[in-house]
Amino acid sequence: GQSLEQPSEVTAVEGAIVQINCTYQTSGFYGLSWYQQHDGGAPTFLSYNALDGLEETGRFSSFLSRSDSYGYLLLQELQMKDSASYFCAVRVGNFNKFYFGSGTKLNVKP
Amino acid sequence: GAGVSQSPSNKVTEKGKDVELRCDPISGHTALYWYRQSLGQGLEFLIYFQGNSAPDKSGLPSDRFSAERTGGSVSTLTIQRTQQEDSAVYLCASNPGPSNYGYTFGSGTRLTVV
């Protein structure tokens, strides 16, 4: 089976930097994705990492270490609109199927 | 269409009744997924369709759940003899196919079993 761990909640101040960690245990790991979900909304795709290292897309960056079974999402220059839940998801096997963590609720305060 | 469309957006049903949830994926997307999200929880994988291949049903929680995809496009998730623990938001997602790893989700169907 698959096991993913994320902090349940994180609070940060507008303009700050926050890191949301994800550790996973799974067999047949192929990659790690991140999604953002605002309250009452649909999850939206942020990033996918298959290889070790940091990938940057604007204010958001995602990191993966396959040897440590660990990844994180880094959000810079936090804005109020970044308040949402963030889910990591692992791709298992050579299929396009992902298993999701329980999510981290990010609260951005002024 | 421009996005993934799900209907109905809300469904209240009595325990023991059958329900059908519909998903209309993005045109041309060969992969379609159903997930379930209980209040404040993560997304639970249910079923995955890829092109004309046999669906991956490994996430269906019981034989009361079934899904089909007609013509490689629209999908229907059916829950028979609904129970209160089936109450959740049912999310559908589609994806262009292999080598593309981002899902586009619909807004979901909120199912309440009373």
B21-75: pLDDT as tens digits: 999 999 999 999 999 999 878 899 999 999 888 999 999 999 999 999 988 799 9
Burial grade of B20 (CB within 10 A; 0-12, 13-18, 19 or more) = middle
B107–A42: do the CB atoms touch at under 8 Å?
A: yes
With 70 as the cut, is the pLDDT of residue B9 above it?
yes
B105–A44: do the CB atoms touch at under 8 Å?
A: yes
Res B1: pLDDT: 53
Query: Which chain B residue has its CA at the smallest distance from A102's CA?
Result: B42
CA distance A14 to chain B (A): 24
Give the mean model confidence (pLDDT) for residues A7-28: 96
Give the mean model confidence (pLDDT) for residues B96-109: 91
Interface test with B, best of A86, A97, A99, A104 (most B CBs within 10 A): A97
With 60 as the cut, is the pLDDT of residue B91 above it?
yes
Nearest Cα neighbor of A98 from A6, A20, A19, A24 is A24
Give the mean model confidence (pLDDT) for residues A39-54: 95
Q: Rounded CA gap, B64 and B76, in Å?
A: 14
Neighbours of A102 (CB within 10 A): 16
Tokens of B14: 């009595």
B102–A100: do the CB atoms touch at under 8 Å?
A: no
